[in-house]
């Protein structure tokens, strides 16, 4: 019988922090509707996009905590999704829409991607994740 965990502090610091940041992203999206911060409103099917980003962040963090490759890949996808959506909004709407965004939210998104794509995280997941 294997033990399942929501957070695994035995992993490298970068993966541990990325788990916590992904959970914070998911909880913040549910409680405060912080995913999107206004730019998601310009998308069609915005509620579906927010739901997928929220579920992806939580499931990715859970998979990373349990040393699963699918969790790592899903965590990267959930962390990169805001950037892909920002590029699409800039392409469709206007580059000046970016000035209305929350810069702290952008820094938070950058921190998650940096922690997940850090060489230590990548090397650990290649060697130890199933």
Read off the pTM.
0.83
Mean pLDDT, the chain, whole residue set:
82
Report the Cα 79 to chain-centroid distance in Å.
3
Confidence at 2, pLDDT banded by 50, 70, 90? low
pLDDT tens digits, 73-125: 999 999 998 888 777 767 766 666 555 566 777 788 899 999 999 999 999 99
Classify burial at 26, counting beta carbons within 10 Å of its beta carbon; exposed 0-12, middle 13-18, buried 19 or more: buried
Nearest to 36 by CA among 4, 71, 84, 75: 84
Element (H, E) at 53: helix 46-65
How far apart, in whole angstroms, are the C-alpha atoms of residue 13 and residue 40? 31
CA angle 12, 29, 81 (to 5 degrees): 65
Average pLDDT over residues 57-69: 95
């Amino acid at each position: 019988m294997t033990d399942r965990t929501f957070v695994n502090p035995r992993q490298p610091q970068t993966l541990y922090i990325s788990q916590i940041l992904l959970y914070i992203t998911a909880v913040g999206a549910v409680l405060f509707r912080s995913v999107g911060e206004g730019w998601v409103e310009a998308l069609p099917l915005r509620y579906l996009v927010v739901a997928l980003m929220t579920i992806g962040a939580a499931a990715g963090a859970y998979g990373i905590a349990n040393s699963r490759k699918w969790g790592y890949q899903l965590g990267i996808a959930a962390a990169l999704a805001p950037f892909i959506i920002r590029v699409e909004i800039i392409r469709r709407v206007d580059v000046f829409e970016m000035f209305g965004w929350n810069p702290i939210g952008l820094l938070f998104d950058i921190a998650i991607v940096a922690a997940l794509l850090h060489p230590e995280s990548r090397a650990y997941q290649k060697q130890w994740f199933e």
